[in-house]
């Protein structure tokens, strides 16, 4: 059924979450507009509005013409030196967007992308499986503050909000710091070029930890479902693939896909490794005619270091969204294999 009367405004449209959401929305015949803080090169073939959401006056001017928007999808975020300094700018950006669109557009829903930080995952070991009904955590954390503001602002409005909380998101988008699958693929390619086994780059505790993953396509489908489902109104949902793996099971399967032997774990820094082998990657890229001869343009390895530094379980209960009516599922091992194949087909890895 055509849904051209649905006009989506996507903040963070070029990221690993937003880019897949744009693709899914367009497949469903939605009209899509992207927001970007800086001029962006995109192959998504949608109009982009350049706006600094930290600037209230500029936001009001840039967003005023968007009086047909029916749905806001918010997956943008601004990094800072610490968690405390991230709160004010990230709440400000969301507020300047929603307040200005709410003034004149026929808004129906606001989708807020969150994460397990609302459960205290960024602080260390936390209760698992994390559930949406878990009590809040004290301290500075922008995801929780954003939802608190959005929930307060929505009271008395005709539109509704929903919040989505994915695990580690799987995507084939290059150049994004939070693309774990790409970090692993680059590491495996470097190991293969040197005839080395694929060692797990973390501690023995991380080797046994359980981490859930969320395919970007599955997350996009869940987000689109929540935008129109009555059961999703003013609700938060964990969104994961629906299965659980320990790295001790998943890592050998990844090694086999790259036709590598796995070997005992050792603490490695992907960030340091990618810098150390920057020249080697350039040689590999030239030999295999890859699209990017500079490995640091593809990924800096910092997020991978963060993930493999978890020596505790990191997973949530994904049953609430499925009880509410979303039935999507993705096998995590097959997700990784499909992403590696996409990266190879796009000549990002050899």
My answer on whether 156 and 109 are in the same domain is: yes
My answer on whether 229 and 340 are in the same domain is: no
Q: Which domain holds residue 15?
A: 7-168+214-239
My answer on whether 273 and 196 are in the same domain is: yes
Domain membership of residue 350 (yes or no) is no
How far apart CA 207 and CA 192 sit, in angstroms, is: 21
Instruction: Please classify residue 195 by burial: count the beta carbons closer than 10 Å to its beta carbon, then call 0-12 exposed, 13-18 middle and 19+ buried.
Output: exposed
My answer on whether 63 and 180 are in the same domain is: no
Q: Is the pLDDT of residue 2 over 70?
A: no
My answer on whether 278 and 180 are in the same domain is: yes
Total Cβ atoms within 10 A of residue 50? 13
My answer on whether 12 and 108 are in the same domain is: yes
Cis bond before residue 318 (omega within 30° of 0):
no
My answer on whether 260 and 136 are in the same domain is: no
pLDDT band at 1 (very low <50, low <70, confident <90, very high): very low
Encode pLDDT of 52-86 as tens digits.
999 999 999 999 999 999 999 999 998 888 889 99
Encode pLDDT of 92-139 as tens digits.
999 999 999 999 999 999 999 999 999 999 899 999 999 999 999 998
How many structural domains are present in the chain?
2
CA dist list (Å): 284 to 289, 290, 342: 8, 8, 18
How far apart CA 179 and CA 300 sit, in angstroms, is: 10
Domain membership of residue 157 (yes or no) is yes
Encode pLDDT of 9-49 as tens digits.
999 998 999 999 999 999 999 999 999 887 765 667 899 99
Alpha carbon of residue 307 to chain centroid: 13
CA dist list (Å): 54 to 8, 96, 290: 21, 7, 37
My answer on whether 133 and 20 are in the same domain is: yes
pLDDT band at 164 (very low <50, low <70, confident <90, very high): very high
Domain membership of residue 299 (yes or no) is yes
Domain membership of residue 322 (yes or no) is no
How far apart CA 214 and CA 201 sit, in angstroms, is: 21
My answer on whether 181 and 145 are in the same domain is: no
Q: Which DSSP category does 177 fall into?
A: T
Q: What is the mean pLDDT of residues 251-275?
A: 96
Q: Write down the pLDDT at residue 175.
A: 82
pLDDT band at 312 (very low <50, low <70, confident <90, very high): very high
């Amino acid at each position: 059924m055509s849904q051209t009367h649905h006009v989506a405004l996507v903040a963070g449209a070029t990221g690993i979450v937003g880019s897949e959401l744009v693709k899914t929305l367009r497949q469903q015949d939605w009209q899509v507009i992207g927001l970007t803080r800086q001029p962006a090169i995109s192959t998504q073939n949608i109009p982009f509005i350049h706006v600094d959401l930290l600037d209230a006056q500029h936001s009001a001017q840039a967003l005023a013409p968007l009086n047909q928007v029916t749905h806001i999808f918010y997956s943008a975020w601004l990094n800072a030196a610490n968690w405390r300094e991230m709160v004010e700018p990230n709440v400000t950006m969301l507020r300047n967007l929603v307040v200005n669109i709410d003034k004149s557009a026929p808004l129906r829903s606001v989708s807020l992308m969150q994460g397990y930080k609302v459960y205290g995952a960024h602080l260390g070991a936390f209760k698992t499986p994390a559930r949406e009904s878990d009590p809040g955590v004290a301290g500075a954390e922008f995801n929780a503050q954003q939802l608190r503001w959005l929930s307060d602002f929505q009271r008395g409005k005709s539109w509704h909000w929903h919040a989505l909380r994915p695990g580690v998101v799987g995507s084939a988008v290059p150049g994004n710091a939070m693309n774990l699958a790409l970090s692993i693929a680059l590491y495996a390619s470097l190991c293969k070029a040197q005839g080395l086994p694929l060692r797990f780059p973390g501690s023995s505790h991380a080797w046994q930890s359980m981490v859930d993953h969320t395919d970007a396509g599955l997350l996009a489908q869940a987000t689109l479902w929540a935008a129109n489902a009555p059961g999703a109104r003013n609700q938060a949902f964990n969104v994961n693939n629906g299965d659980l793996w320990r790295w001790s099971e998943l890592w050998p399967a990844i090694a086999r896909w790259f036709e590598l032997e796995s070997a005992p774990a050792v603490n490695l820094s992907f960030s340091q490794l990618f810098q150390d082998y920057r020249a080697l990657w350039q040689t590999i890229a030239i030999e295999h005619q890859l699209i990017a001869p500079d490995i640091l343009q593809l990924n800096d390895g910092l997020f991978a270091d963060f993930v493999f530094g978890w020596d505790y379980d990191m997973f949530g209960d994904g049953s609430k969204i499925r009880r509410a009516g979303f039935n999507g599922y993705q096998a995590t091992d097959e997700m990784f294999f499909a992403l590696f194949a996409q990266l190879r087909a796009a000549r990002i890895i050899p």
